[in-house]
């Protein structure tokens, strides 16, 4: 895809306004801006599809999205609603770093504007040893670590509650939950 | 333990160039644990990161008072203490050597200083840690999705509190 000179400027401004990228220096933000693309979605468009190959990171700059997951009995379970105006503005961070496919679908709830950092771009920056890519990884790793820790705490608390009430199915439940403890 | 540590063999260090590897080697303190020896005690400090180059460790947690739940068995080469590095320096589980273990310790504060100074060596190691965490998060998400589906099928009658539980788990979802 040919690059429109003006597009870079727009993306760069986008990164400026986003808290998620504040840790980058001006220069590094420019590096990312050069390789990012702006993306727009209509209400109902899929931004990330559950089960798809690990893909891109999106920084939402306006609009809101819904995160849902298929459940085995059929139907969708709504996991979250994310509004670009309300702080948490990044989706797809795990796909950028990891090897497994998306675990949920992210769909535009109304018209969404976003900045896309393609996985290939990120990987290339990593293989070139560019500091900006590693700094972004640090942020993502911290986010994932905090989430895993909170999840672990919730699981332990739930198990303790159930045990105190004498739940019988506890063992199977516990084994399933504790398959992958984070040290 | 003799000679310089060969970080080249540890996957967490594969992106480092020679200079970066040297920079990191300055922080490494050789450590050895006997089989059965505790590396981290649940609830105790987790102020070091250990790069385990030889041996096997086991992870346990006192999920229910008085009973130790086995969580994982991990073989070298691996890293333990990475969650303490990225969150709080307090061990949420116990890590014990199952066999004689050889490792290199890295002081958490010194490593964080390197990270805050954007030292490429530290950033690259954290990139690898992040990849590990992304994989772990994916598997955790799948386990939780399985449990939620099971609960929905079973009907909520016996599990009145599960809805709350489900809500709390879902809040931490990542994708």
Q: What string of H, E and C letters represents the secondary structure of A79-126? A: EEEEEHHHCCCEECHHHHHCCCCCCCEEEECCCEEEEEECHHHHHHHH
| Residue in B closest to A75 by C-alpha | B149
Reported ipTM exceeds the 0.90 cut: no
Whole-number Cα distances in Å, A30 to A10, A38, A88, B150:
11, 14, 22, 47
Alpha helices for chain A (secondary structure H)? 5-17, 26-35, 93-97, 119-127, 131-164, 170-177
Q: What is the DSSP letter of B9?
A: G
pLDDT at B40: 96
| Domains of chain A (ranges, CATH numbers) | 5-177 (2.60.120.10)
Q: Is A49 helix (H, G, I), strand (E, B) or coil?
A: coil
CATH topology of domain B7-142: Jelly Rolls (2.60.120)
A151 touches chain B (CB under 8 A): yes
d(CA B167, CA B165): 5
pLDDT tens digits, one per residue of B32-55: 999 999 999 999 999 999 999 899
What is the side-by-side strand order in the sheet with A90-91?
A: A37-41, A112-117, A57-62, A90-91
Return the closest-CA partner of residue A69 out of A33, A31, A107.
Answer: A107
Q: Please name the member of A100, A145, A181 whose beta carbon is closest to the beta carbon of B138.
A: A100
d(CA A106, CA B175): 9
Q: Please name the member of A77, A99, A102 whose beta carbon is closest to the beta carbon of B175.
A: A102
pLDDT tens digits, one per residue of B56-85: 999 888 877 777 878 788 898 888 998 899
d(CA B62, CA B174): 27
CA angle centred on B88, ends B82 and B94, rounded to 5°: 60
The residue ranges of every structural domain in chain B are 7-142
Q: Please name the member of B93, B168, B175 whose beta carbon is closest to the beta carbon of A181.
A: B93
pLDDT at B4: 46
Confidence band of B100 (pLDDT split at 50, 70, 90): very high
pLDDT at A6: 43
Q: Tally Cβ neighbours within 10 Å of residue B65.
A: 7
* A22–chain B nearest CA distance, Å: 14
Return the closest-CA partner of residue A169 out of B146, B149, B154.
Answer: B154
Could you say which residues from 6 to 45 on chain A have a Cβ atom under 8 Å away from some Cβ of chain B?
none
**Contact criterion met (CB below 8 Å) for A17 and A85:** no
| Residue in B closest to A49 by C-alpha | B175
Check A134 against B124: CB less than 8 A apart: yes
pLDDT tens digits, one per residue of B123-144: 889 998 898 888 878 777 777 7
Higher pLDDT: B169 or A57? It is A57
Cis peptide before B172 (omega within 30 of 0): no
d(CA A58, CA A113): 10
Q: Is B30 helix (H, G, I), strand (E, B) or coil?
A: strand
Q: pTM for the whole thing?
A: 0.78
pLDDT tens digits, one per residue of B77-98: 888 998 899 999 999 889 999 9
Residue B2, pLDDT above cutoff 50: no
pLDDT at A17: 61
Could you report the average pLDDT of every consecutive run of 10 residues in chain A (183 residues)? 44 61 82 86 95 88 89 75 79 86 90 92 89 88 84 75 65 53 43
Q: Which residues pair with A55 in a beta bridge?
A: none
Check B92 against A48: CB less than 8 A apart: no
Average pLDDT, chain B: 81
Residues of A in contact with B130 (CB under 8 A): 97, 137-138, 140-141, 144
Q: Is A72 helix (H, G, I), strand (E, B) or coil?
A: coil
């Amino acid at each position: 895809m040919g690059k429109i000179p003006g597009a870079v400027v727009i993306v760069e401004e986008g990164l400026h306004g986003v808290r998620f990228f504040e840790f980058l220096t001006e220069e590094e933000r420019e590096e990312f801006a050069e390789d990012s693309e702006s993306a727009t979605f209509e209400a109902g468009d899929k931004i990330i599809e559950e089960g798809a190959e690990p893909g891109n990171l999106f920084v939402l700059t306006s609009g809101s999205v819904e995160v849902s997951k298929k459940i085995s009995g059929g139907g969708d379970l709504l996991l979250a609603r994310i509004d670009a105006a309300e702080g948490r503005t990044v989706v797809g961070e795990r796909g950028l770093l990891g090897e497994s496919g998306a675990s949920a679908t992210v769909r535009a709830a109304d018209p969404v504007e976003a900045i896309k950092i393609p996985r290939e771009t990120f990987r290339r920056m990593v293989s070139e040893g560019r500091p900006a890519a590693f700094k972004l990884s640090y942020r993502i790793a911290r986010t994932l670590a905090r989430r895993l820790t909170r999840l672990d705490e919730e699981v332990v608390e739930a198990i303790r509650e159930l045990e105190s009430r004498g739940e019988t199915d506890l063992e199977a439940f516990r084994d399933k939950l504790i398959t992958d403890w984070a040290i | 333990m003799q000679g310089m540590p060969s970080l080249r063999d540890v996957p967490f260090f594969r992106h480092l160039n020679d200079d970066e590897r040297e920079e990191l080697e300055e922080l490494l303190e050789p450590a050895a644990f006997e089989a059965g020896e505790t590396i981290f005690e649940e609830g105790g400090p987790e102020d070091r990161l250990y790069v385990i180059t030889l041996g096997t460790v086991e992870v346990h947690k006192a999920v229910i008072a008085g009973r130790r739940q086995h969580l994982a068995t991990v073989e070298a080469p691996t890293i333990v203490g990475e969650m303490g590095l990225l969150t709080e320096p307090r061990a949420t589980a116990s890590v014990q050597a199952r066999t004689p273990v050889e490792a290199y310790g890295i002081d958490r504060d010194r490593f964080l200083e390197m990270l805050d100074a954007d030292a490429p060596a530290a950033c690259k190691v954290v990139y690898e840690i992040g990849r590990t965490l992304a994989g772990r998060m994916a598997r955790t998400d799948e386990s939780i999705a399985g449990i939620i589906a099971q609960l929905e099928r079973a009907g909520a009658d016996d599990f009145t509190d599960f809805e709350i539980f489900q809500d709390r788990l879902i809040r931490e979802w990542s994708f």
